[in-house]
Amino acid sequence: MFLWLANVYRLGVKELRSLVFDPVLLLLIVYVFTLAIYAVATGAKLEVQNASVAYVDEDRSALSGRIISAILPPEFDTPVEISADRIDASMDSGAFVFVLRFPPEFEADLLAGRKSEIQLNVDATAMAQAGNGTVFLQSIIQAETAKFLSGNEDAAALPINLVVRAMFNPNLDSSWFNAVMQVINNVTILSVLLTGAALIREREHGTIEHLLVMPVKPSEIMVAKIWANGLAIVVAAVLSLVFVVQLLLGVPIHGSIALFVFGALIYMISVTGLGILIATFTTSMPQFGLLALPVLVIMNLLSGSTTPMESMPEWLQAVMQVSPSTHFVAFAQAILYRGAGLTTVWPSLVAMSVLSAVFFVIALSRFRKTMAGAR
């Protein structure tokens, strides 16, 4: 046992040295956990911000003017008046996200007790912005209309005082969500890519033949690649959480980073094993990349990091329980967002541990066959 651990340690150190002297992989790790995190967190906005609005005012009344003047930054740009015949062309060209059209006699109909309609054209290409912006505009129109008809600025107030408490993200800032989830997703991506690339690199450089004639076992080679590459990724992820997410972006981390690291290390066994498993079916980096790409896309998109699991079909939710990324996302979100402790996240830890053992056994079995064939 001592000899096995010593071999695993020495082979792992060799892996770390290979990684240190590979400028492309080093640059990839640095980019993925720094610039990529910052760019996604600050550039990919889910909330409505600076949405372009146009209006067609065929009423020219005090009420229509009041509604238009209530559409303000930062949610919306200053509304632009256009003619009715330009609505379709403006929407087709993407010049405006929202176009309001006030009909003739709009104010007069309301004052006379008759119903009137305002047309709101929405470019729903960006669904999140379109949906949220529509809700904001509806609230503005209803509030301003109620105040105008009653002559009381407080008339829009409801008899019930609804107190909204947004927990864990009080300002509903999407950068808080995007920054942390990007770190979590990048852990999965790099875990698969680095370990798979390590095995492919052995073949391309001819060092795999050196390992075959050495008194080392396939399990020692595989475990060494897992701990060395996993350690590099976990260290990079923690540094990214502290310096990029917390300090640079100002996103608070509510839970224990030590507990997150513990779960990430368990998760590493499954995803790094997956990377080695994929690499055993390929002979070059291009082949490995083409085979790993669809696997990573499915793992990230359906893990709950992009779309809540509850919004997926029940059969798909059941299928994704066999993916370790599903449990890792739930585990990381509970700790980093909501400050959950071990008593809350232990089911995810158990699931990750079981899946890690299964993935490791499958990958090791395939790796042994590959090594035996290479002999």
| 90 and 235 within one domain | no
Average pLDDT, rounded, for the chain: 87
For 258-296, write each residue's pLDDT tens digit. 999 999 999 999 999 999 999 988 888 888 989 999 999
61 and 105 housed in the same domain: yes
Which of 99, 116, 150 is the last residue before a domain boundary? Answer: 150
179, 37: one domain? yes
Burial class (CB in 10 A: 0-12, 13-18, 19+), 165: exposed
Q: How far is CA 307 from the centre of its chain?
A: 9
Return the CATH number at 132. 3.40.1710.10
Nearest to 186 by CA among 286, 271, 248: 271
pLDDT digits (tens, 9 = 90+) for 296-342: 999 888 888 877 888 889 999 999 999 999 999 999 999 998 899 99
Higher pLDDT, 190 or 216: 190
> Is 137 among the domain residues?
yes
The DSSP secondary structure of 117-134, one letter per residue, reads --EEEE-TTSHHHHHHHH
- What is the C-alpha to C-alpha distance for residues 364 and 71, in angstroms, rounded to an integer? 61
The answer to whether residue 109 is domain-embedded is: yes
One domain for residues 67 and 208: no
Predicted pLDDT of residue 311: 81
Are 211 and 351 members of one domain? yes
In a domain, 158, yes or no: no
Candidates 222, 195, 228; CA nearest to 371 is 222
Q: Which of 9-13, 61-65, 325-329, 331-335 has the lowest mean pLDDT?
A: 9-13
243 and 317 assigned to the same domain: yes
User: Does some domain include residue 244?
Assistant: yes
Which of 119, 150, 181 is the C-terminal boundary of a domain? 150
155 assigned to some structural domain: no
Residue 282: per-residue pLDDT: 86
Q: What is the pLDDT of residues 87-131, one digit of tens each?
A: 999 988 889 999 999 999 999 999 988 888 899 999 988 777 888
Do the beta carbons of residue 272 and residue 230 sit within 8 Å?
A: yes
Q: Which domain holds residue 242?
A: 2-44+173-374
**244 and 292 together in one domain:** yes
When divided into structural domains, the chain yields a total of 2
Among 309, 129, 371, 336, smallest CA distance to 241 is for 336
Query: Are the beta carbons of 63 and 106 closer than 8 angstroms?
Result: yes
8 Å CB contact between 224 and 15: yes
Whether 165 is covered by a domain: the verdict is no
pTM: 0.81
Same domain assignment for residues 204 and 60:
no
Question: In this structure, are 38 and 121 located in the same domain?
Answer: no
Asked whether residue 311 is domain-assigned, the answer is yes
232 and 331 together in one domain: yes
The verdict on residue 300 lying in a domain is yes
Write down which residue in 150, 183, 210 finishes a domain.
Answer: 150
39 shares its domain with 63: no
**Same-domain check for residues 215 and 138:** no
